Structure 1
Amino acid sequence: MFRIGSNRKAPRGVRAVVASVAAAATLLSMSGCTAVQHVLDSQQTADPASLDLSNVPENLRSYYQQQVEWNDCGGGRECATITAPMNWDDPTMGDIELAATRIPAAGDRQGSLFTNPGGPGASGYDFVYDGGEDSFSSDLRSAFDIVGWDPRGVGRSSAVECYDDAGMDEYFYGVPEKMPKTDEEKIAYAEEQAKKFADACKEHTGELLNYVDTMSTVHDLDLLRAVVGDAKLNYFGFSYGTDIGAHYADTFPLNVGRMVLDGATDPSLGQFDVVLAQQGAFGDATKAYLEDCLSQAKKCPFRGNVDQAMKQINRVMEDADKRKILASDGRQLSSGVISTAINAALYDESSWEYLTQAFSDYMLQGNPDTFFLLSDFYYGRDETGHYDSNMFEAFMAINCLDYPVETDPAKIKEYNKKLKEATPIGVDSPEELGDVQCQQWPYQSRVQPAKVTAAGAQPILVVGTTGDPATPVEWAEAVASQLESGVLLTYNGEGHIAYDEGDKCVVGAVDEYLTTGTPPANGTVCG
């Protein structure tokens, strides 16, 4: 598994923050009322029937001109289903459905603000419906309809289907009766499990499985922009959601309104480079966690310095694979469960205490339950064994279409050598082990990693966090430099994405830009 992984944080939504106008004023260089009014005028929502569709191929215009009915779906939300072609290059193959929800603007409406919380595979519908007030400031909710949708392959939209709950349990938590010992046995076992999963996805999803790639979602997003009547797209993407936004800007630069990419991914990187950068960032986050833990000697189960604590964690993981310790629900602990628990906690500094509890419970009492609680949170599994979404099924499907699979044995060995150096925690894997899941996937990627320039687009605000373990700050820096109109905002802090940290400098700068069109100075640093 590679790329961003789950965009789950604890708490799930982005915390509510009201922008500080005073703080924003000290950060931003205002260009005067005339310029601001010009930007506002350019963002006004149009009647869908009046939008210019001259650049839309004639065989696709009916999708752009469809009449969408938004219905009250409770909690002050409106919901709708939009029709899109399964294959944008050949609409005769049939249609799919996209599920969307929105919170209508509470004040003087400037248009729609589309959002995606990441993944790939996370539900934008749930993100807005369940946590819209927590995720976006009152300033943004006053100025915009906040719109979330489930991308193709995800959730309530036409979705990827692979396993039932029991199958997902076996996929994530299953331990073979006889653990493979040699490299050949480990690779054979991994390939067998990957092939079973891939075959199930193809059987239960059908042709859609070949068309859940990010570029297809980019075209869906332009369709959504049109059916809500917006001449320009206003967009706030988080984590993998920035990948959607960056590719949209590169594909439809003249349709870009105001766009924020928080926790940016770098589209120019191949899958191995993505994993190596992520593992290095997670390694740094692990060190930051351990430094914090060791400073609280009475609570911390580790002893010595950070390097010694790292070795203790590796011994715990090796021990788990040998001892066959069972959780209270009967599942067997493995190094994979511990690794997932660590990653889940590192997404948000507020979760570090739960990771400490997990290691304390296991190292002092032999109780692995808290490791499973963290891992289950990451995967969206409840105490009954039910998974709350198809996020990780969609995650696999989208990733395998977005990145070409590397099959060169020499490059795979070189990658595994670098991965071992970049990853301070984890059990060694065979040198020949590549991206097993995508190697078994029934459909291959049709794209190559490439830089995004979005020539001609309005300013695009790119936000990076220095201690982000999932989307390293270097990616935000790279994307901001690739985009011709990119503006970089850096937050000095820990955790994945910046806007939800509640920093007045970050929230003020983002809100000012989205509501007025005036970005902060390029290179602004907060925190």
Structure 2
Amino acid sequence: MTLAALSRRPLSRLTAAAAAAVLLLSGCTEMGGDPGGSSPAGEASDSGQDAPADEADLPLDDLGKSAAQELPADPASDSDYAQYYDQDIEWGECEDVQSEDAECGTVTVPLVWDDPSQGSIELAVGRLPGADEDSGSLLVNPGGPGASGVNFLDSVPYMLSPEVLSAYDMVGFDPRGVARTAGVECLSDEETDQYRSETAEPGTAEAEDMAEKWSSRIAEACEANSGDVLPYLDTYSAARDMDVLRAALDSEKLDYLGYSYGTYLGSTYADLYADRVGHFVLDGALDPTITMDELTAGQAEGFEKATSAFVEDCLGSADSCPLKGDVSEGKQQLQAFFASVDDNPLQTDDPDRPLTGALARSAVMMLMYEDGQWSEGRQALGEAMSGDGAQLLEMSDRSAERQEDGSYRTNANFAISAINCLDHPGIADEQWQEQEADRLAEEFPTFGPTMGGDGCSQWPVPPLREPAPISAEGADPIVVIGTTGDPATPYEWSVSLADQLSSGVHLTFEGNGHTAYGRSGGCIEEQVDAYLLEDTVPEDGLTC
């Protein structure tokens, strides 16, 4: 299939580094009936600037069709798919996984779900065996989209209780297009360094030109290197893959823990296979009814609120805080710091890699995901505001999975676009896009100026999915968790998803950071563990 480059929407205003950093859900994404509580369309914002026209009155991007959304029959009972559903996983040693207990294998799935004759891909799978002889399997997904579930096994023992680790084989997989599973190939490591670091003042013509250049360059590189798989990396296809994996694990029903984008993947699976939903936990939920622009707006507001919380914590900490005054003044100082580094990058331990404004923003943005890192962030920010950008550079590299030798551990910086651009259409109106970019910059001044626009404007495949509610009618109880101070998946999205699901059960964690299970301090963990281990469904609406 030849992919024609489609200029679907106006130029992106997203600066190069922000494009990579802001969307790594759990790492993050762009997407809200209500976009995270921002000003209702058509009403005046607090800044006095009119908000853009209501999205509902404007056309979305033209949609293509997913090869996996609708099939004539259940593939699990269709003879055309028997070769996939009759597999066993041959477990062996893992490469590039730290845990000595991990075992790895592959599962074969069709590249094109509605035409399995077009060939197959190998789904990379890993597991940490449970201690119990009759351990079931708990499939985990860390989010992204673009994050490796096999690599996530390195973190799982620090997040889940010993009881859950004993009761289940913990199984992670790399979704299609990600890392070891037909991973998309785009820029070289050296080009990725340049992409992440290049900076222009947000909102300027220079920034727009830079964004257009990188958007085109990445799209062309991805198409040239991975054009045969790009049309088939949508979440419907990945959810179909999960059912093959369920069968290969010899599970009648799928038990699943999904974080961030993993909630979108999990809810999609539940809608396709409601009768095969076992214990499902969706933490840091995405709202499937929202457009790409609503996703972006929700995150712009979420990161602005998280920045306020970080600054307030900094000003009240016993540690030295480089910011002074009240929260508003502290945020202004942070924004002034970003602007100064845009103009004058800071020295680091590597003379060839100064800390640019783009890298500084991505480092500070990473802090918003985990309030446990705020002490480290205060120190790094203080050093940078004193002229040494080494620690912030290290944090930015960590967020992008850049290793000490200059290579990138996975392709997450580009797999995220390959998946998101298929899953989420946006508004196809240039005037609206310009107004919305101005609104985000005005209302959410810390990161909003870098978040307006569309990173998918040059993508070679059109979006394949219309925003729509997910009900998963007939599924067993599905636990949905929202964190009140979550910057990447705002709390309101979890409420919306739980309301859409016919069997949704909603839990609230009152705290800062992205997701809750494994970092809430006890309450959420107790509820989820009882659900996973004892089949005790939490009380809907519980807050802790």
CA 230–181 in structure 1, closer or farther in 2 if over 3 Å, else same: closer
The residue aligned with 1:145 is 169
Task: Tell me whether 1:111 sits opposite 2:136 in the alignment.
Answer: yes
> Shift of the alpha carbon at 1:180?
8.0
- What SS does structure 2 have at the residue aligned with 1:425? coil
- Paired with 1:361 and 1:417, the residues of 2 have a C-alpha distance of 32
Please list, as runs of the form range in 1=range in 2, the aligned pairs for 1:360-375 lying within 5 A after superposition.
360-364=382-386, 366-375=387-396
The answer (yes or no) to whether the contact 2:202–2:450 under 8 Å persists in 1 is no
Aligned twin of 1:161: 185
Where does 1:202-241 land on structure 2 (aligned, <5 Å)? 202-241=223-262
Match of 1:246, SS?
helix
For the Cα contact (< 8 Å) 2:122–2:182, is it kept in 1?
A: yes
What's 2:101 paired with?
76
The number of residues matched between the two structures is: 476
Pair 1:348-2:367 in alignment: no
The amino acid across from 1:474 in the alignment is E
Q: Against the structure 1 CA distance between its residues 302 and 372, is the aligned structure 2 distance closer, same or farther, given a 3 Å change threshold? A: same
2:446 to 425, 430, 435: 425
Letter in 1 for 2:109: A
> Residue 278 of structure 2 aligns to a residue in which SS?
strand
Match of 1:487 in 2: 505
- Pick closer, same or farther for the CA change 1:434–1:339 going to 2, 3 Å: same
- Work out which of the residue numbers 148, 156, 166 in structure 2 matches 1:123: 148
Shift of 1:268: 1.0
Rounded Cα–Cα distance in structure 2 between residues aligned with 1:417 and 1:62 = 53
- Report the Cα offset of residue 110 of structure 1: 5.0
Distance (Å, rounded) in 2 between the aligned partners of 1:307 and 1:182:
22
The aligned counterpart of 1:34 is none
Select which of 413, 418, 422 maps to 1:397: 418
Q: How far has the Cα of 1:471 moved from its partner? A: 1.2
Change (3 A) 1:324 1:493: closer
Higher relative contact order (CA 8 A, sep 6+): 2
Structure 2 letter corresponding to 1:170: Q
Structure 2 distance, partners of 1:89, 1:170, is 39
Are residues 272 and 368 of structure 1, via their aligned partners in 2, closer, same or farther at CA, if it must alter by over 3 Å? same
Show the 5 A alignment for 1:100-499. Answer: 100-107=125-132, 109=134, 111-128=136-153, 130-175=154-199, 183-296=204-317, 299-329=320-350, 330-364=352-386, 366-426=387-447, 428=449, 434-435=453-454, 437-499=455-517
Matched, 1:7 2:26: yes
Shift of 1:54: 7.6
> Cα deviations across residues 412-458 of structure 1 (Å, max 9, x unaligned)?
0232133124423148469xx621x3111111111111111000000
Which amino acid in 1 is paired with 2:374? Answer: W
Deviation at 1:495, TM superposition (A): 1.4
Structure 1: 5+ residue stretches without partners: 10-51
Cα distance in structure 2, aligned partners of 1:203 and 1:298? 50
Q: Which has the larger helix fraction?
A: 1
Distance in 1, matches of 2:136 and 2:318, equals: 52
The alignment partner of 1:237 has SS state of strand
Check the 8 A contact 1:171/1:193 in 2, yes or no. yes
* RMSD across aligned positions (CA): 2.3
Change (3 A) 1:56 1:155: same
Q: TM-score, normalised by structure 2?
A: 0.83
1:67-88 residue CA offsets vs partner (Å, 9 max, x unmatched): 3322355823322111111111
Work out the CA distance in 1 between the residues paired with 2:80 and 2:116.
8
Cα distance in 1 between the residues matched to 2:381 and 2:297: 26
Question: Quick one: structure 1 residues 189 and 131, their matched pair in 2 at CA, closer, same or farther if it must change by over 3 Å?
Answer: closer
Give the aligned residue type for 2:530: E
Change (3 A) 1:216 1:360: same
Aligned letter for 1:501?
Answer: R
Give the residue type in structure 2 aligned to 1:352. W
Pair 1:59–1:185, CA change in 2 (3 A): same
> Which residue identity lines up with residue 305 of structure 2 in the other structure?
D
